[in-house]
Amino acid sequence: MRQVRGVAMPTIIVLAALWLPAEAAAQTAGIAAPPRAEIWGAWAVAMPIRDGTLDSSYEPPLRLGSSALESLAHQVLNVEAGAGYGFDLGANVFFNRVIGVQGAFTATSANVNGTNGSYETFLRYVSSQPPDYQPRENTSESSTAWVPTTGTLGYRSLAIGGVVRWRTTAGRIGGTLAGGVDIEWLTGELESLGYTQFILGGHSTLFSVTHRVRVRPPEGGHAFGPYVGGDVHVAISEGIALMAGVRVRLTSRRVVPIQVVDLVDPNENPWVPEMFELAAALDGQPLELPGTRWRTLVGVKLFLR
């Protein structure tokens, strides 16, 4: 929070200093007082996501007859998305001609894709195989081409900050500049991570079963970051204007722990793991996404006097 205040407050002070002379000029010219508040609704377009990753590592279990000396499964899902679409709702309340406070809620969602590398497993174990059935150490390694990433990823954010406004002498064209704190949380689901079980069958014959697992960002997880934004509007009547703007969240890359949702393919094999086993292995794997987020807004603004 100290970092957020350190970015947001100087921004608002500088912007206010730039626009205070305009307020004085407007009072001198005798322009009618601007509205005390503005509310808007807009279509929101979020910029595409690039270079997101979900890095998974865990220890696959060995079922029946023995225990693993060493076990490892690893894969990296590439998480990318096109432009996200949604809406933006907000309000500005002004204390005078120039300075006020802003609150805005944005929700966007985008389809996820990504070409993936291999899903790799390794197992070192002891088994007793025919003909002498003496305990011996064995290893098993595999590398499997993995299907592309699919799913959806949604962004929800609540922006709270300061705002300054400007307008032309005639008052028909104007706009705002804002900055403050952006509270963001993620929604959606991603497919799919791999989950493998090794089974030691009759005559110590080893085989493996791999399921695909659907995951999601954590429910209720949110992150704070600074934002800046602005808009321009053109009045079409005394109380209504068309507007276009942008809002940018200014943070570094964000890492969130994922949660297991369910199996994508529960009926493809009789060896179906329990949900608690999936959660123990895969919950908390790091989903890493770009931090800076651009949103473009186009909509309608209402003036309240």
pLDDT of residue 33: 73
pLDDT of residue 36: 92
- Give the mean pLDDT of 45-56: 92
pLDDT at 113 over 50: yes
CB neighbourhood size of 116 (10 A): 17
CA distances to 4, 83, 185, 188, 226 from 159, in Å:
12, 20, 12, 21, 9
Q: Is the pTM of this model over 0.85?
A: no
Q: How confident is the model at residue 112 (pLDDT cuts 50, 70, 90)?
A: very high
pLDDT of residue 179: 96
Q: Cite the beta strand spans of the chain per DSSP E.
A: 37-46, 49-58, 62-63, 68-81, 84-94, 99-113, 118-129, 134-145, 150-167, 173-200, 206-216, 222-235, 240-249, 254-257, 259-263, 286-289, 293-304
Q: Which amino acid is at 121?
A: T
Structure tokens at 244: 């276009």
pLDDT tens for each residue of 16-37: 443 444 444 444 444 567 889 9
Distance CA 140, CA 156 (A): 44
CA distances to 145, 195, 232, 279, 298 from 264, in Å:
17, 11, 46, 14, 38
pLDDT at 260 over 50: yes
Query: CA 144: distance to chain centroid?
Result: 28
When comparing pLDDT for 221 and 114, which is higher? 114
User: Facing residues of 254 across strands?
Assistant: 289
The percentage of the chain sitting over the pLDDT mark of 90, rounded to a whole number, equals: 64
Q: How confident is the model at residue 10 (pLDDT cuts 50, 70, 90)?
A: very low
pLDDT of residue 268: 67
pLDDT tens for each residue of 229-243: 999 999 999 899 999
pLDDT at 180 over 90: yes
Structure tokens at 85: 């679409």
The 10 Å CB-count burial string (b at 16+, else e) for 170-201 is eeeebbbbbbbbbebbbebbbbbbbbbbbebe
Structure tokens at 93: 């309340």
Question: What residue has token string 């499964």?
Answer: 73
Distance CA 158, CA 60 (A): 40
- Give the mean pLDDT of 145-174: 93
- Give the mean pLDDT of 193-208: 86
pLDDT of residue 19: 42
The per-residue pLDDT of the chain, averaged, comes to: 86
Query: CA 218: distance to chain centroid?
Result: 10
Residues 80, 51: contact at Cβ < 8 Å? yes
Structure tokens at 115: 């070409």
The percentage of the chain sitting over the pLDDT mark of 70, rounded to a whole number, equals: 89
Question: Which of 44-48, 201-205, 248-252 is least confident?
Answer: 201-205
